[in-house]
Structure 1
Amino acid sequence: MDPFWLTDKVTGRSCGSADSYPDFGVACSNNSYPTLRSSIPLNNGFRILNISYEERSFHAVDLGKLDVLSATDKCRAAFYNTSVKLNHRFKIAPVNLNLILYNCTEESGAAAAARRNGELAQTRVSCGNEWAVLARAGVPHDVTGKYAGYALEGCDASVIPVLGSSAGVNARDYEQLFKDGFLLTWDRPPVQSVNATY
């Protein structure tokens, strides 16, 4: 199972390579599915759908995004860039596209214009008449994280990786895109040197 290892939340003990690979700890949530923790405290991490050890990749769902969708008080909901929730060992695979979520005030003229032009889709996340979240899909992944060309005045943006082809991704399907997840990769962990004494 290296480099991943299981942690027992009740006892605090680990089962596996915790000392060798501290960033690869996996817990079982609700006794049903494995999760990788978020680097943001008190933010749900990532549900692991499957792992390919040969390709050093895994398919995951950002549980924090699903929490926002199911929150009863949307005014307290917050979307984060998925990349900031990842431990430094994990990378968003370049095969992903991005969904950009815009948290816009109702007065934002740029968002209204983009909505009229069909570039953005309304989500069901809003806070009365104060702000609403709009979505744009099919944005190519940029390993350098340069998404300034997609900024909208009066809106805070969050970048979320999703699987799919640019031809088949629609912003109106944002909930299903969250649930379908995305692909992550990891670099081979450094080999721990053992100091032998002769």
Structure 2
Amino acid sequence: MPRSCRFLVFLGVWWLPLMLAGAEEQQDKGCSRSASNCGNLNISDPFWLPDWNVGRSCGPSDFEVTCFGNAPVLQSSLGIGFKIIDISYGERSLRVVDGGKLDLFPGSERCRLPVWNTSVKLGHPFTIDPGSLSLILYNCTDGAAAAAWASATSRDRELVQTTMGCGDEMKVLASAGVPYDATGSYAGYALEGCDAIIVPVMGSSAGKANASYYKQLIDDGFRLTWEGPTLPAPA
């Protein structure tokens, strides 16, 4: 091989890592994927905060966290995302609140329908802690709510009337303490004339949840675990 060609090969081998490092540095420049704070919560890899001024993605979209009024929110493809209460990086878990359910409380400036099952708003790489309990919210017409109330009373089944809802045409009832089922098999808890919405909750240390405290159960959130972000396939 001519000496000039050997020199070009050597120069390419020496220069390529510098070019890649420079590109990576340029991509990360202005990003907030390194440890940052939102409110009093530390946001670190694999989670990242977008930099609106740069307009550049700084990590996997599944782990994007937006800071709204000092409150970190994990984004969702369906409706409002999940407010993050705490993160355990060592255990790869975080406690979150389904923000869409908070909009159904009295005094909320927004009331969005349809209201999705919480699990529908989540996808890979997040999984609801299998030790969770379920809070079932029943969206019923007045007639169906009255019938469900009478049926629950006769069967000694816990069912409470809530102050949640969108307008006065529907009544929202709540039942709690049902073990969380990742397969979504809740047919045995259906009420005729009512649409059921499943919200995972943590319950008490004794593994119980009282439907009378439905607002507190939602506010306390539930725990998610995550798998590490998928690495790109080698070229």
**CA–CA separation in structure 1 for the residues paired with 2:190 and 2:53:** 44
**CA–CA separation in structure 1 for the residues paired with 2:52 and 2:159:** 41
Q: 1:73 to 1:58 in 2, by over 3 A?
A: closer
Q: Note if 1:120 corresponds to 2:163.
A: no
Higher fraction of strand: 1
Residue 209 of structure 2 corresponds to 169
TM-score, normalised by the number of residues in structure 1: 0.84
1:38 to 67, 73, 76: 76
Give 1:6's aligned amino acid: L
Q: Note if 1:133 corresponds to 2:144.
A: no
Moved beyond 6 Å, runs of 4+? none
**CA–CA separation in structure 1 for the residues paired with 2:207 and 2:91:** 26
**CA–CA separation in structure 2 for the residues paired with 1:101 and 1:164:** 15
Contact in 2 for aligned 1:3/1:24 (Cα 8 Å): yes
Give 1:145's aligned amino acid: G
Pairwise CA distance, 1:85 = 1.2
1:52 to 75, 78, 88: 88
Residue 228 of structure 2 corresponds to 188
TM-score, normalised by the number of residues in structure 2: 0.71
How far does the alpha carbon of each residue in 1:15-45 deviate from its partner, in whole angstroms, 9 at most, with x for none?
x4x2xx2211111111x121111221xx221
Give 2:71's aligned amino acid: Y
Q: Secondary structure at the match of 2:200?
A: strand
Aligned residues: 186
**CA–CA separation in structure 1 for the residues paired with 2:142 and 2:66:** 40
Greater RCO, CA 8 A, separation 6+: 1
Give 1:107's aligned amino acid: G
Residue 197 of structure 2 corresponds to 158
**CA–CA separation in structure 2 for the residues paired with 1:58 and 1:87:** 15
| Root-mean-square deviation (Å) | 2.2
Give 1:35's aligned amino acid: V
**CA–CA separation in structure 2 for the residues paired with 1:114 and 1:186:** 40
Q: Which sections of structure 1, spanning at least 5 residues, go unmatched?
A: none
Pairwise CA distance, 1:167 = 5.3
Give 2:224's aligned amino acid: L
| Structure number, greater radius of gyration | 2
Give 2:96's aligned amino acid: A
Percent identical pairs in the alignment equals: 52
Residue 3 of structure 1 corresponds to 46
Q: 1:163 to 1:9 in 2, by over 3 A?
A: farther
Contact in 1 for aligned 2:103/2:110 (Cα 8 Å): no
1:80 to 113, 116, 121: 116
**CA–CA separation in structure 1 for the residues paired with 2:229 and 2:56:** 22
Contact in 1 for aligned 2:149/2:159 (Cα 8 Å): no
1:64 to 88, 100, 103: 100
**CA–CA separation in structure 1 for the residues paired with 2:178 and 2:193:** 20
